[in-house]
Amino acid sequence: MNGVVTLTDPISETVVGRYVATTGATRWRLGVPDNRNAGVRALEILVEPHLHGAYIAEARRLSAAAAGAVAGLDPADRAATVRAFEANAGAVTSLIGALDRAHVITPIELVVVGDERQATTRTAVAWARSRGVPSVHLAGSVPLGARESAPMSVDADRAIGFGERGRRWFLAAGVPAERIRTRANPGFLTLAQLARTRETVRSAVRAECRWPGDAEVVVLALHDDALRTAALEAAGGLRARRPNARFALIDVPAGQAEQQALAQLALRCGLTSTDVVLVTGDGDRVIAAADVVISADSVRSFQAQICGAVTVNVWTQASWLGGPAFAATDGICEVRPRDLGPTLDALLGAPDLRGALVANGLLALAAIGGVPDEGSIDAIVGDLLAERRVPTPIVVREPRPDILMYIGDYRHTSAGVRVVHRLAHLVNLVGGDATVFARQTHPLWSTPRRTWRITDRTIVVYPEVQSGNPMAAKRVVRYVLNVPGKIAGDTRYADGEMVFYYADAFLAGAQAATSELLTPDRLLSISVLEPDLFFNDRSLERSYDCVYLGKGEHIYERGIRPPQIAAAFVIRRDERNPWPATREETATLLRGCRRLYTYDRHTAAILEGLACGVQIFFINEDGSVEPYETEPVDYAAWYYDLTHVERFYRLVRERYPE
Lowest mean pLDDT among 4-13, 348-357, 460-469: 4-13
The answer to whether residue 132 scores a pLDDT higher than 90 is: no
Nearest-angstrom CA–CA distance, 529 and 206? 60
pLDDT of residue 44: 34
Fold designation for 3-185+375-387:
Rossmann fold (3.40.50)
Q: Which of the two residues, 393 and 180, has the higher pLDDT score?
A: 180
Q: What CA dihedral angle connects 237, 242, 246 and 248, to 10 degrees?
A: -40
pLDDT of residue 137: 87
**Residue 23 one-letter amino acid:** T
Q: Which of the two residues, 13 and 649, has the higher pLDDT score?
A: 649
Class of domain 190-367: alpha beta
pLDDT of residue 577: 65
Predicted confidence band of residue 522 (pLDDT cuts 50, 70, 90): very high
Classify the C-alpha dihedral 428-397-394-155 as positive or negative: positive
SS3 40: strand
Quick check: bond before 484 cis, omega within 30? no
In 3D space, the residue among 430, 432, 431 whose CA is nearest the CA of residue 461 turns out to be 432
Predicted confidence band of residue 56 (pLDDT cuts 50, 70, 90): very low
Bridge partners of residue 618, in order along the sequence: 598, 626
pLDDT of residue 82: 57
The answer to whether residue 220 scores a pLDDT higher than 90 is: yes
Q: Which CATH architecture has domain 544-637?
A: 3-Layer(aba) Sandwich (3.40)
pLDDT of residue 85: 56
pLDDT of residue 12: 66
Residues 6+ apart with CB under 8 A from 119: 88, 91, 92
- For the chain, percent of residues with pLDDT exceeding 90: 33
Lowest mean pLDDT among 261-275, 307-321, 521-535, 577-591: 307-321
Q: Rounded to a whole number, what is the distance in angstroms from the first to the last CA of the chain? A: 29
pLDDT of residue 539: 81
Q: What is the average per-residue pLDDT within 596-614?
A: 91
Contact 644, 426 (CB under 8 A): no
Q: Burial level of 8, CB count in 10 A (0-12/13-18/19+)?
A: buried
pLDDT of residue 70: 57
Lowest mean pLDDT among 40-44, 206-210, 383-387, 440-444: 40-44
- For the chain, percent of residues with pLDDT exceeding 70: 79
Outline where 109-255 has alpha helix (H). Answer: 119-131, 163-172, 189-195, 198-209, 225-241
pLDDT of residue 147: 42
DSSP 344-381: HHHHHT-HHHHHHHHHHHHHHHHTTT-S--HHHHHHHH
**Residue ranges, CATH 3.40.50.2000, the chain:** 190-367
19-33, 107-121, 291-305: which is most confident: 291-305
Task: Tell me whether strands 615-619 and 625-627 are parallel, antiparallel or unpaired.
Answer: antiparallel
pLDDT of residue 74: 62
pLDDT of residue 42: 36
Q: Which of the two residues, 384 and 345, has the higher pLDDT score?
A: 345
pLDDT of residue 7: 62
Strand order across the 276-278 sheet: 276-278, 245-249, 216-221, 292-295, 310-314, 333-335
pLDDT of residue 135: 87
pLDDT of residue 124: 80
In 3D space, the residue among 433, 403, 429, 409 whose CA is nearest the CA of residue 421 turns out to be 409
Which whole-number Å values give the CA distances from 22 to 16, 26, 134, 381, 382, in the listed order?
10, 11, 18, 9, 10
pLDDT of residue 439: 87
Predicted confidence band of residue 3 (pLDDT cuts 50, 70, 90): low
Burial 555-575 (b: 16+ CB within 10 A, else e): bbeeebbeeebeebeebbbee
Predicted confidence band of residue 326 (pLDDT cuts 50, 70, 90): confident
Extended beta strands in 80-183, E state: 108-113, 135-138, 158-162, 180-183
SS3 415: helix
SS3 472: coil
Contact 496, 518 (CB under 8 A): no
Q: What is the average per-residue pLDDT within 416-443?
A: 88
DSSP 538-567: TTS---EEEEE-GGGHHHHHTT---GGGTT
Contact 552, 598 (CB under 8 A): yes
6-20, 166-180, 444-458, 640-654: which is most confident: 640-654
49-53, 98-102, 336-340: which is most confident: 336-340
Q: What is the average per-residue pLDDT within 475-486?
A: 94
pLDDT of residue 36: 33
pLDDT per residue over 391-422, tens digit each?
655 444 456 788 999 998 998 888 899 999 99
CATH number assigned to the domain covering 402-527+641-655: 3.40.50
Residues 6+ apart with CB under 8 A from 61: none
The answer to whether residue 142 scores a pLDDT higher than 70 is: no
Predicted confidence band of residue 526 (pLDDT cuts 50, 70, 90): very high
pLDDT of residue 189: 80
Nearest-angstrom CA–CA distance, 450 and 448? 6
Q: Which of the two residues, 451 and 262, has the higher pLDDT score?
A: 262
Q: What is the average per-residue pLDDT within 353-364?
A: 83
Q: What is the mean pLDDT of the chain?
A: 81
